[in-house]
């Protein structure tokens, strides 16, 4: 792939501020990252063009094209948040923190956007605190309901938020994990937050952090669902545009590096020093400058070359390589690198909804987790490396080796 000259780069309109977004990385033709297919479905598979750019006004990094939300978040959306024990603990701890620090009034009300299978709200419910989850994906929402949680099966947006304000009153906390970065229609989100949040309430959300993505070359965080790659500076500008203020940031180790943003109505809370510190750090590393982003794009192409070269060599040597974790992220890696079943025999995954199906675009079979019999396992779920390697020690003892591509392609034996 050759670099386009600046004048040739694609542009679009920023979904955060309306100014011009200039593309810096083209990841090509890509499928829906969470659409695991039956054999019969491969013929009519949906594809879109995945490329990413940065706003020349507010610096927000974002996709250059949108996939309609109903194609992604459907009845059979197959990601279940409780599939990782580390994430279960993370969300139990997060819920306790919100309950202790924010939901302290006489009858507090906690709302979650994208509550999925109830991994966080469960703790809120057990504490006897009034709650509501918004979750448009049918089956995962049903799992949350089976835990006794109150879930509205709709997209959170201004209209649905206003209805809840009218029926339930103001929220003390509106929380979202790995969901706000999925939502291009930010005007409607902030309109909804404005309608539903109490005067002294907080809007707290955590998402993959651009600074970590650049530092680790984790380009697999870019896929249809991840519309925005947030930085503190861009989120601060965004919040201000809607009459809110970024009052705290916290770096988190989960999912390869995230930031939790706390937003309040402008002037209601004194911002912590962490906000200015993180933004200053972003200035030093040049997080959203075109020069840094173009360097990232070059790093991404180098990872592709190294990974394909390694897998091709292993195949020539007669080694069996399997994938570990049929992640949404792996759609970007396999489709961008052209990795199909000839290089990776199958992918193992604990999620029943993915098993017996084929990976999006590249059609690698997904098999249930069982005995890991392979020479090499390509760790697509690298963000859960500690949890997975701890339970797969027999694989290593039997001579199996892990292949990782974050932060660069390497083999761990």
Measured distance CA(213)–CA(221) in Å, rounded: 7
User: Does 192 help bind ligand DWN (rule: CB under 6 A)?
Assistant: no
Helix (H, G, I), strand (E, B) or coil at 203: strand
| HEC letters along 227-264 | CEEECHHHHHHHHHHCCEEEEEEEEECHHHCEEEEEEE
Scan residues 28-87 and list those touching ligand SAH (CB under 6 A).
73, 77, 79, 81
d(CA 57, CA 60): 8
Per CB under 6 A, 140 contacts ligand SAH: yes
Position 116 contacts ligand SAH (CB under 6 A): yes
Q: Which is nearer to ligand DWN, 245 or 258 (CB)?
A: 258
Contact partner, 383, from ligand DWN, ligand SAH, none, Cβ < 5-8 Å per class? ligand DWN
Q: Does 84 bind ligand DWN (CB under 6 A)?
A: yes
Give the residue from 242, 244, 240 showing the smallest Cα distance to 264: 244
Q: Does 349 bind ligand DWN (CB under 6 A)?
A: yes
Residue 347 Cβ vs ligand DWN, minimum distance, rounded to whole Å: 9
Q: Decide if residue 136 touches ligand SAH (CB under 6 A).
A: yes
- Pick 97 or 371: Cβ nearer ligand SAH: 97
CA 70 to chain centre: 17
> Which of 21, 37, 113, 171 is in the footprint of ligand SAH by CB under 6 A?
113
From ligand DWN, ligand SAH, none, interface partner of 350 (C-beta below 5 to 8 A by class): ligand DWN
Nearest residue to 285 via CA among 356, 232, 352: 232
Q: 151 or 297, CB closer to ligand SAH?
A: 151
| By the rule CB under 6 A, 357 interacts with ligand DWN | no
**Strand duo 347-349 + 321-324: pairing:** parallel
Residue 388 contact, options ligand DWN, ligand SAH, none, Cβ 5-8 Å cut-off depending on partner type: ligand DWN
Binding part of the chain for ligand DWN, among 3-11, 264-272, 281-289, 377-385 by CB under 6 A, reads: 377-385
Q: What count of other Cβ atoms lies within 10 Å of the Cβ of residue 85?
A: 12
CA distance 356 to 38: 8
Q: Report phi then psi at 234, rounded to 5.
A: -65, -35
Q: In this structure, which long-range contacts are made by residues 306-311, counting pairs with CB atoms below 8 Å and at least 24 apart in sequence?
A: 306/405, 306/408, 306/409, 307/333, 307/337, 307/339, 307/403, 307/405, 307/409, 308/337, 308/338, 308/339, 308/343, 310/403, 310/409, 310/411, 311/339, 311/343, 311/344, 311/378, 311/403
Partner in contact with 123, chosen from ligand DWN, ligand SAH, none, beta carbon below 5 to 8 Å by kind? none
Under 8 Å CB-to-CB from 229, ≥6 apart: which residues?
Answer: 52, 61, 62, 181, 208, 210, 213, 221, 222
Contact partner at residue 137 from ligand SAH, ligand DWN, none, CB < 5 to 8 Å by partner kind: ligand SAH
Q: Show contacts with ligand SAH in window 164-193 (CB under 6 A).
A: 177-179, 182-183
Find the binder of ligand SAH among 24, 36, 109, 155 (CB under 6 A).
155
- Cβ nearer to ligand DWN, comparing 272 with 351: 351
Q: Is 262 in the site for ligand SAH (CB under 6 A)?
A: no
Residues 6+ apart with CB under 8 A from 47: 29, 30, 31, 361
DSSP-derived secondary structure letter, 271: P
Tokens of 406: 């974050």
Interface characters, 244-273, with ligand DWN (x: CB under 6 A): ------------------------------
How far apart, in whole angstroms, are the C-alpha atoms of residue 70 and residue 214? 30
Q: Which residues contact 152 (CB under 8 A, 6 or more apart)?
A: 132, 133, 134, 135, 160, 164
CB closer to ligand SAH, 60 vs 113: 113
Query: Segment 302-341, which members bind ligand DWN (CB under 6 A)?
Result: 325-329
387 binds, among ligand SAH, ligand DWN, none (CB under 5 to 8 A by kind): ligand DWN
Instruction: Pick the closer one to ligand DWN by CB: 189 or 275.
Output: 189
Least Å distance between CB 243 and ligand DWN? Answer: 28
Sites of contact with ligand DWN (CB under 6 A): 79, 83-84, 178, 225, 325-329, 349-351, 354, 369, 381, 383-384, 387-388
């Amino acid at each position: 792939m050759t670099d386009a000259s600046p004048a040739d780069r694609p542009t679009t309109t920023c979904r955060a501020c309306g100014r011009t977004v200039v593309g810096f990385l083209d990841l090509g033709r890509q499928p829906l990252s969470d659409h695991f297919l039956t054999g019969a479905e491969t013929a009519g598979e949906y594809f879109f063009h995945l490329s990413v750019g940065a706003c020349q006004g507010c610096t927000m990094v974002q996709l250059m094209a949108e996939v309609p939300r109903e194609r992604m978040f459907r009845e059979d959306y197959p990601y279940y948040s409780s599939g990782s024990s580390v994430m279960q603990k993370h969300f139990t701890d997060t819920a306790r923190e919100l309950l202790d620090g924010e939901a302290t009034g006489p009858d507090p009300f906690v709302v979650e956007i994208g509550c999925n299978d109830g991994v966080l709200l469960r703790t809120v419910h057990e504490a006897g605190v009034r709650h509501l989850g918004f979750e448009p994906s049918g089956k995962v929402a049903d799992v949350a309901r089976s835990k006794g949680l109150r879930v509205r099966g709709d997209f959170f947006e201004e209209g649905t938020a206003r209805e809840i304000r009218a029926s339930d009153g103001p929220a003390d906390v509106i929380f979202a994990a790995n969901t706000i970065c999925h939502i291009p229609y930010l005007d409607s989100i902030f309109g909804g937050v404005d309608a539903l949040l109490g005067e002294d309430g907080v809007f707290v959300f955590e998402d993959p952090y651009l600074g970590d993505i650049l530092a680790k070359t984790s380009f697999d965080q870019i896929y249809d669902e991840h519309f925005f790659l947030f930085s503190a500076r861009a989120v601060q500008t965004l919040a201000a545009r809607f009459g809110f203020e970024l009052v705290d940031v916290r770096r988190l180790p989960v999912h390869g590096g995230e930031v939790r943003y706390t937003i309040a109505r402008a002037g209601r809370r004194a911002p912590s020093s962490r906000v200015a510190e993180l933004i200053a750090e972003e200035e030093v590393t040049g997080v959203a400058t075109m020069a840094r982003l173009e360097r990232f794009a070059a790093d991404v192409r180098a990872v592709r070359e190294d990974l394909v070269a390694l897998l091709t060599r292993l195949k020539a040597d007669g080694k069996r390589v399997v994938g570990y974790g049929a992640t949404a992220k792996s759609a970007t890696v396999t489709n961008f690198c052209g990795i199909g079943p000839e290089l990776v025999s199958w992918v193992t995954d604990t999620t029943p909804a993915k098993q017996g199906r084929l990976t999006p675009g590249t059609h690698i079979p997904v098999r249930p987790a069982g005995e890991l019999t392979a020479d090499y396992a390509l760790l697509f779920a690298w963000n859960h490396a500690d949890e997975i390697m701890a339970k797969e020690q027999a694989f290593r003892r039997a001579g199996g080796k892990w292949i990782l591509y974050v932060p660069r392609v390497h083999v761990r034996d």
